Amino acid sequence: MVRGGGETFDLEMARHLESPECQTGFLSGIPLFSQPDTPLDHPGSSTIRSPYTGWFPWDRVWQGWRLRVWDFRCFERKVARWAKAHRDAYDIIQICEMPALIDDLLEQDLNCPIVMRITAPDYHDPHQAVTRASAIIASGTSIATLRKGVRPDAVNIPNGVDTERFRAGSHNFRSGEGIADADFVILFVARFHEVKNHHMLIRAFRRVLESIPEARLVLVGAGPLENFTRKCCRESDTQSRVHFLGEVAYEDLPGIYAAADLKVISSNYESFCFAALEGMSSSLPLVVTDTDWVPGLIGRDQGGVVVPKDNDAAMAEAICALQKDPERRQRMGQWNREQVLENYRWDTSAQKLLSLYQTLLS
């Protein structure tokens, strides 16, 4: 129903696995009375109509999590019934977390391996689903947590990036948005959720404009806190220099990265961060908060600058310092590009996943 890092992983895995010997399909949800904002474009995909409350800021409302749980349980029960009705159409089921779904699927006696992907080390598992799945896959900080805990056999399937799509090159994004060639473009790609800390980024950008009046901030994504972020822009008088692009089609993202001068990540937490890889692959320098995993991706100071979490002054200072040093930005961008080419390619991760599938089926 939405497009983020987790969905990107699944779609890219499927794209690189697809062959005469291996077919992939998706089962996803669509809202009860409307169409999704980002339709799933994959051959063999199926959909289930289910209540969808992602538009509601459940993480900022008392007891709001109950609505989110109800949303998921409606979908999970329908998935299990669909899986039983189509049991001859697949050999393996892979799910992204949703621990209650393990119970529903096992009750159907499907007699096929069930692989669960964990996206964050603080996963919620009241059903002990992680111990009962046929295999667990993860990446980033999640792997260490799982291997030290209940699944020492967790398989590391690294996140990746399409290095052919995301690369430095020509673009027409600036002219379409009315951005001058001389403007300094700062890019942040993230859903509007509290953990991404857009509020801090807007405060930092207010400081940046005092030194770099030609700066522009481009925000890609949607979410329950988008209106709150727009309000922050109005209150800080930065709205004329901030571009809200909303949900952007995946094929249009590379052109936006290519048009930027700098990639920022203001999050309070990231278990891996696809957006960091996309910026690195696009030869951009990064300014990131000191989350568990992202600083390691950029080699701390080799591919960018790491600043303390929720510190708008430090974020602004790092942005301004890099704006004044184009040669340093170029060195950092080149280092980032080399890192993704060597370590974070989708085809390598897909082969690791295929090997796991083959082991389970044998």
Q: Do 193 and 243 lie in a common domain?
A: yes
284 backbone dihedrals φ, ψ, rounded to 5°: -100, 145
Distance (Å) of CA 329 to CA 50, 164, 185, 207, 332 = 46, 21, 13, 20, 5
CATH number at residue 247: 3.40.50.2000
Same domain, 64 and 131: yes
Residues 149 and 296 in one domain: no
For residues 139 and 262, membership in a common domain is answered with no
pLDDT tens digit sequence for 116-173: 999 888 888 988 999 999 999 998 888 989 999 999 999 999 889 989 999 998 888 9
Read off the pLDDT band of 270 (50, 70, 90).
confident
Q: How confident is the model at residue 326 (pLDDT cuts 50, 70, 90)?
A: very high
Average pLDDT over residues 297-324: 96
Does residue 227 share a domain with residue 280?
A: yes
pLDDT tens profile 2-24: 667 778 889 889 999 999 889 99
Residue 227 sits in which domain range? 173-343
On the question of pLDDT at 115 being above 90, the answer is: yes
- Whether residues 113 and 14 share a domain: the answer is yes
Domain for residue 165, yes or no? Answer: no
What mean pLDDT is reported for the chain? 92
pLDDT for the residue 119: 87
| Phi, psi dihedrals of residue 99, rounded to the nearest 5° | -60, -35
Assigned domain for 168 exists: no
Under 8 Å between Cβ of 43 and 11 = no
Based on the fold, state whether residues 30 and 138 are members of the same structural domain: yes
Backbone angles phi, psi at 28, to 5 degrees: -135, 165
Same domain, yes or no: 83 and 135:
yes
Evaluate whether residue 113 is within a structural domain. yes
Question: Do 198 and 322 sit in the same domain of this protein?
Answer: yes
Residue 167 falls within a domain, yes or no? no
Number of separate domains in the chain: 2
Regarding whether 197 and 92 lie in a shared domain, the answer is: no
In a domain, 166, yes or no: no
Same domain membership, residue 142 and residue 185: no
pLDDT at 1: 60
Residue 203 falls within a domain, yes or no? yes
Q: Is the pTM of this model over 0.85?
A: no
55 and 77, same domain (yes or no): yes
> pLDDT by residue (tens digit) across 48-62?
999 988 778 777 788
